[in-house]
Structure 1
Amino acid sequence: MPKEILPADCFEARAKVVKAMAHPSRLMMIDELSHGARCVCDLRELVGADMSTVSKHLAVLKKVGIVEDERRGKHIYYRLRVPCVLDFFHCIESVLKADR
């Protein structure tokens, strides 16, 4: 039985998700959100950047569907929308260990 060939736009969509994660600060935020929802101020402390920069990083992650937000009073909390993204972290660690 022949293998199904995916259309190019499927690979483009996948690349957008991978590209959205391709920044150390975003990876730190994703890791932190694996422990539960966090407000922007907590994530700002974590990455050591100003609020505007952190908000831009979160907007990139939100745009591709990795995180979602919720307003609680004056604060905005973010959480992982799809926790399976953490499986990708495990895969990356396997690649890094294999290269040693």
Structure 2
Amino acid sequence: MSRPLYQAKAEFFRTLGHPARIRVLELLSQREHAVSEMLPEVGVEASSLSQQLAVLRRAGLVASRKDGSTVYYSLTSPQVAELLAVARRILTEVLAGQVELLADLQAATPSGSVPPP
């Protein structure tokens, strides 16, 4: 029996639920990268980056190739980059709405007074 689509989607988003994995995918959205190039950009230890890359590889989001002793990673689909771009637009809209709400709250509160809880 196959699992429902919503469960597969939840697992997919759990895979994306780590800051290092998101940063790796952002980097790979630009171009193929060697592991050594990603280390300073991702800001984690080499062992942690290897673990995160393994998770992304198992999920089918990245592919690797070896050239000599260097391992290069790339996205398996340009749609991963599109998903990250859509997420960025959503966050931008959400944060813009929060900034507007904050401005409204600040305008409604007299200077120096604390609004009631």
TM bracket (short chain): 0.7 to 0.9
Which amino acid in structure 2 is aligned with residue 21 of structure 1? L
Count residues in correspondence: 94
Question: Cα gap change, 1:35/1:90 in structure 2, threshold over 3 Å: closer, same or farther?
Answer: closer
More moved, 68-77 vs 14-23: 14-23
Instruction: Flag structure 1 segments of 5+ consecutive residues without an equivalent.
Output: 1-6
Instruction: Flag structure 2 segments of 5+ consecutive residues without an equivalent.
Output: 97-117
Which amino acid in structure 2 is aligned with residue 70 of structure 1? R
In structure 1, the residue matched to 2:91 is: 96
Q: Is the 8 A contact 1:38 1:79 kept in 2?
A: yes
* 3-state SS in 1 of match to 2:71: strand
- Pick one of 9, 12, 18 that aligns with 1:23: 18
TM-score (norm 1): 0.83
Rg larger in 1 or in 2? Answer: 2
Question: Cα gap change, 1:49/1:10 in structure 2, threshold over 3 Å: closer, same or farther?
Answer: same
User: Higher helix share goes to which structure?
Assistant: 2
Percent identity reads 27
Moved over 3 A (4+): none
Which amino acid in structure 2 is aligned with residue 35 of structure 1? Q
Within a 5 Å distance, the mapping from 1:42-53 to structure 2 comes to: 42-53=37-48
Deviation, 1:45, is: 1.4
TM-score (norm 2): 0.72
